Amino acid sequence: MSGRWIGKSQEPDTDELLAASLPIAGSAVRVLSPLHNMIQVSLHTAKHSFVRAPGLRLHTDVDRLAAFAPPDWTAVAELAETMTIRTPVFFSLALSRALLGAAVPDAVLDRLAPARWKVGAVCRALRRCDVFEPFERKFSRLGMVRFHSLLFDDLRGWCASASGVDRGEVKLWRTPALLWGAVPRVVDLVCRYQR
């Protein structure tokens, strides 16, 4: 999902991140907990469409964390569901496992897996791209919007993000206002998209 399209309700709470962070011995520096770190790298991979620069290196972040700082995988699935980011997290984890053999449990992938039609659509789009050539053009502008639209868990999430409102504000009777709010965000995504 484009970073510009991540809704406020999908951003983790800063106080919660700090409270769960871990100290680095001998310094004042703290690092994200394994749970929050895995969610962050999964979203970062999705933000780059899984294949855009830096390409394969994105998937090594997931693989490295799974190997050296494995999270509580049940908590990863629960947080992805709570934040309504199951779809991008699923593809980040599944691609890292497929490309690098990342130690992602089957149970997590099974729990986060989107509908089969969506898996097929995303896989078809990714087959036309090359993860080993990160600076090569991956999508047309319209293709980019279509691809990132597939990464939302549901239509309500997409509408909320496209319109710049919270999920609770997406109501049928608000359709004209939501559409009007979506225009500048879609134009921004289309006009600023690079590769």
Region 56-70 average pLDDT: 94
**pLDDT of the residue at 119:** 96
For the segment 44-73, the average pLDDT, to the nearest whole number, is 91
Query: Distance (Å, rounded) from C-alpha 91 to C-alpha 73?
Result: 15
Q: What is the mean pLDDT of the chain?
A: 85
Residues 5-34 pLDDT 10s: 566 666 677 888 888 889 899 998 999 999
Q: Look at residue 165 and tell me whether its pLDDT is greater than 80.
A: no
The helix or strand, by DSSP H or E, that contains position 31, with its residue range, turns out to be strand 30-31
At residue 1, does pLDDT exceed 50? no
Identify whether the C-beta of residue 132 lies closer than 8 Å to the C-beta of residue 55.
yes
Percent of the chain with pLDDT over 70: 90
pLDDT for residue 134: 79
- Residue 122 has what pLDDT? 95
Does pLDDT of 85 surpass 50? yes
Question: What is the CB neighbour count within 10 angstroms for residue 153?
Answer: 21
The 10s digit of each residue's pLDDT in 112-163 is 999 999 999 999 999 988 888 878 888 887 888 888 889 988 888 877 777 7
The overall longest dimension of the chain from CA atoms, in Å, is 56
Question: Of 157, 152, 149, which is closest to residue 178 (Cα–Cα)?
Answer: 157
